[in-house]
């Protein structure tokens, strides 16, 4: 299978009144079709900037970004509109893109049924728990049928236990729907449990220090929670911890 995203020699400098700030320095990575890649990097290193460049919200200072497919972007906050019910929140993207066709609505209804949201469709966001809201946000992102999902710290607003459960859900949905995904996090365990590959980013100006292939799934159906119990998990954790930690001493 080929690369669905290719990032080559990507650099980004912001210019503003206070001067210039180089955020990304000569970054290289790729995402293969069907793969989940995690960008693991410290706070403020430019992770969201990378996603904004991939969606073309920002233009890079240097380098090439090739994206072979349409993108669905899921933010750290769920950005649900409190005055719209769940169904109307989920179809918002379709409305904006003028794609709210009967086929698209049927697809959304199918997603709601498959992922346990059907009976919530007439409720309002404030009636749902944080975990459920994130699930709604993911279904909304999926409603426009993107090839590639970009997930920017989607679990960081959740308490620890919910976070583990929701990441299991999100993982299963990504795999079930055969999506390719780039996940952004600064949580080492989350990175290992969710991904096929982990790119470790350095502090700003950030570059890709190393890319690890995670082979924890001889059994393909293991969920993130289950992979945390595979003995090799700790080896990956130790390696990534060392690499991530060396950010601080350099
Ligand atoms: N439009 C902009 N203009 C100027 N500086 C910016 C702009 N966007 C981001 N920055 C700066 O670039 C740096 C990287 O920001 P970015 O949000 O990409 O980091 P991040 O890794 O996503 O951080 P976090 O972990 O806090 O989400 C920060 O210092 C930020 O203040
Ligand atoms: Mg960010």
3-state secondary structure at position 37: strand
Phi, psi of 184 (to 5 degrees): -110, 130
- What is residue 126's DSSP assignment? G
Q: Return d(Cα 86, Cα 79) in angstroms, integer.
A: 12
Which of 11, 12, 16, 21 most suits a substitution to test ligand 1, by most atoms within 8 Å of the C-beta?
Answer: 21
Minimal-distance CA residue to ligand 1 atom 5: 14
pLDDT in tens, the chain (250 residues): 689 999 999 999 999 888 999 999 999 999 999 999 999 999 999 999 999 999 999 999 999 999 999 999 988 788 899 999 999 999 998 998 888 999 999 999 999 998 889 999 999 999 998 888 988 998 999 888 899 999 999 888 788 888 898 889 889 989 988 999 999 999 999 999 999 999 999 999 999 999 999 998 877 689 999 999 999 999 999 999 998 866 654 4
Q: Which two tokens stand for residue 29?
A: 């990575």
Q: How far is the CA of 155 from the centre of ligand 2 (A)?
A: 12
Residues 6+ apart with CB under 8 A from 90: 108, 111, 112, 136, 139, 140, 143
Q: Do residues 65 and 10 touch, judged by C-beta distance below 8 A?
A: yes
Would the CB of 45 count as within 6 Å of ligand 1? yes
Q: How far is the CA of 178 from the centre of ligand 2 (A)?
A: 25
Q: How far is the CA of 189 from the centre of ligand 1 (A)?
A: 23
Q: Report the alpha-carbon angle 43-45-50, nearest 5.
A: 115
């Amino acid at each position: 299978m080929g690369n669905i995203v290719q990032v080559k020699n990507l650099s980004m400098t912001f210019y503003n009144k206070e001067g210039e700030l180089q955020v990304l320095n000569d970054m290289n990575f790729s995402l293969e079709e069907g793969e989940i890649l995690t960008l693991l990097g410290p706070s403020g290193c430019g992770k969201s900037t990378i996603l904004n460049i991939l969606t073309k919200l920002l233009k890079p200072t240097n380098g090439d970004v090739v994206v072979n497919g349409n993108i669905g972007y899921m933010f750290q906050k769920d950005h649900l509109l409190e005055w719209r019910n769940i169904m109307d929140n989920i179809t918002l993207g379709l409305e904006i893109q003028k794609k709210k066709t009967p086929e698209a609505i049927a697809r959304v209804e199918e997603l709601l049924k498959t992922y346990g949201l059907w009976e919530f469709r007439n409720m309002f966001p404030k009636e749902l728990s944080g975990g459920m809201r994130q699930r709604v946000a993911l279904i909304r992102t999926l409603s426009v049928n993107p090839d590639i999902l970009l997930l920017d710290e989607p679990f960081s607003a959740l308490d620890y236990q919910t976070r583990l459960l929701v990441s299991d859900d999100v993982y299963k949905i990504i795999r079930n729907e055969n999506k390719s995904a780039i996940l952004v996090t600064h949580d080492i365990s989350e990175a290992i449990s969710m991904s096929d590959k982990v790119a470790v980013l350095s502090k700003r100006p950030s570059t890709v220090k190393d890319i690890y292939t995670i082979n924890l799934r001889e059994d393909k159906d293991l969920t993130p929670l289950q992979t945390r119990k595979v003995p090799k998990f700790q080896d990956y954790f130790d390696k990534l911890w060392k690499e991530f930690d060396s950010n601080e001493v350099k």
